[in-house]
Amino acid sequence: MIKDAFSRTQIDRLGDRLKGGSHTESDLRLLDDYRRSFGEAYETVVRTLRQRGEVPTGRLAKSTVSIAEKLRRESIRLSQMQDIAGCRIVVGNVVEQEQLVASLKADFPGASLIDRRDHPSHGYRAVHVIAEISGKPVEIQVRTSLQHMWANLSEKSSDVLDPTIKYGGGPDEWRNRLGKLSESVAAYEKFEKIHAVAVASNEVFEKATAEQLEHHLPEHEVEEIRGKLEDSRLRIEGLSKKLVALWNVNADLLTGAITWLDKLKGQKQ
Amino acid sequence: MIFLIEYNRGKGIIVTFRDFDDSQRREAEDSRLGIELDLNRKGRKGIDHEVVLLEAASRDALLRTHGRYFKDLDDLLKSASQQGDGAGVSREPEFGAEAGR
């Protein structure tokens, strides 16, 4: 993986030292040099994304705190860490997410994919694409707005309420609320995809039937086409209503979380 | 633009925020390291702040992808509950009307 001035052993030993709480100045400088060695790979990835019209936010350097915590938390070695450099793209919905991920796989042949949508990590759902440029991994996080909203809530509550929340710990009630919200966002997004496919095929159907109606058809055929159009319209209406109902589950969970947080603040005052 | 953020996790607030032109990447990297070295010298618990360099098209773009640094939990929850637009069906007018409840 490392093809530069650093040997794998040197980096892994640095990682072992970083796991402990205190750091020497020379270790911090070595880690910084190691981070900077990802610069070219990072540039290549971000440039490719911008050329295809994406607006990524790049993370040039993962913080030392985050690196040390990850080393302590997981059995991973520093030389195996895939998110030293990376970037994040937030898209509108799950359909856009799938389209973008498919494009990224084509842009970065051999990239590996971590799809946390069906198998969330403590509620965290997103797709991470790991591109590898000249032996250096660069992580591209692709999140939908809703996945991003959930991740923000999980991370921020880990910051200010309990650092273990992000990894399935913390106050039971908050953890349960976040868990339910993650599930409800997942249910919403699954249905959102069904809805989008139905809307797209309805548009094709409407266009085709409009063309048919331009011809002079017998009355009974016109009636039949109109009936089919109405059925299709009613089906989309039903799907849209269900989508709204699913969003309202998310909204109710968020309202509940706001109330819980207000109560918690009241107790602390 | 390149943004240097020193973030106090426990308090959930930004301690240092600086921006750099894309051409000043080296300077931004040096400043980031400088903050970490300083924290390490002063801190009894070593480095306890997140010190990151982020690159975004604008401050607004940064806010969109890394709002956690800038907003408190209350704000994040409230903006999330009004997120009908980001929910993928903003194309449906009736959705926008009901989602804001």
> For A225-253, how does the pLDDT look when each residue is reduced to its tens digit (9 = 90+)?
889 889 999 999 999 999 999 999 999 99
Q: Which residues of A touch B33 (CB under 8 A)?
A: 28-29, 32
Please indicate whether, in this complex, the C-beta atoms of A261 and B74 are within 8 angstroms of each other.
Answer: yes
Query: Quick one: how far is CA A173 from the chain centroid?
Result: 24
Between CA A2 and CA A41 the distance in angstroms is: 12
pLDDT, one tens digit per residue, over A12-53 is 999 999 998 778 999 999 999 999 999 999 999 999 999 999
* pTM score: 0.90
Cβ distance A159 to B62 less than 8 Å, yes or no, reads no
Q: Sort strands A112-115 and A127-133 into parallel, antiparallel or unpaired.
A: antiparallel
- Residue A190 tokens read as 């699954």
A156 vs B contacts (CB less than 8 Å) = 12, 68, 71-73, 76
Q: Do the beta carbons of residue B40 and residue A57 sit within 8 Å?
A: no
Please tell me the distance in Å from B37's CA to the nearest CA on chain A: 7
Residue of A nearest to B58 (CA): A57
Mean pLDDT of chain A: 93
Q: Which residues of A3-23 are buried (b: 16+ CB within 10 A; e: fewer)?
A: eeebeeeebebbbebbeeeeb
The per-residue pLDDT of chain B, averaged, comes to 83
Residue A114 has pLDDT above 60, yes or no: yes
pLDDT at B93 over 50: no
Say if residue B92's pLDDT is above 60.
no
Interface test with A, best of B9, B74, B91 (most A CBs within 10 A): B9
Mutate to test the interface with A, among B7, B33, B64 (most CBs of A within 10 A): B33
pLDDT on residue A217? 84
B1–A contact, CB cutoff 8 A: no
Q: Do B29 and A22 lie within an 8 Å CB cutoff? A: no
pLDDT category, B30, cuts 50, 70, 90? very high
pLDDT at A144 over 90: yes
Tell me: domain A8-143, CATH 3.30.460.10, correct?
yes
Chain A touched by B63 (CB under 8 Å): no
Does residue B99 surpass a pLDDT of 60? no
Please tell me if residue B35 touches chain A, with a CB cutoff of 8 Å. Answer: no
Asked if residue B52 has pLDDT above 70, the reply is yes
Token pair 């030293």 in the structure block, residue: A84
- Higher pLDDT residue, B87 or A241? A241
Which pLDDT band, with edges at 50, 70 and 90, does B44 fall under? Answer: low
Q: How confident is the model at residue B100 (pLDDT cuts 50, 70, 90)?
A: very low
Number of CB pairs, chain A paired with chain B, less than 8 A apart:
168
Chain B residues with beta carbon closer than 8 angstroms to that of A160: 10-12, 72-73
d(CA A140, CA A132): 11
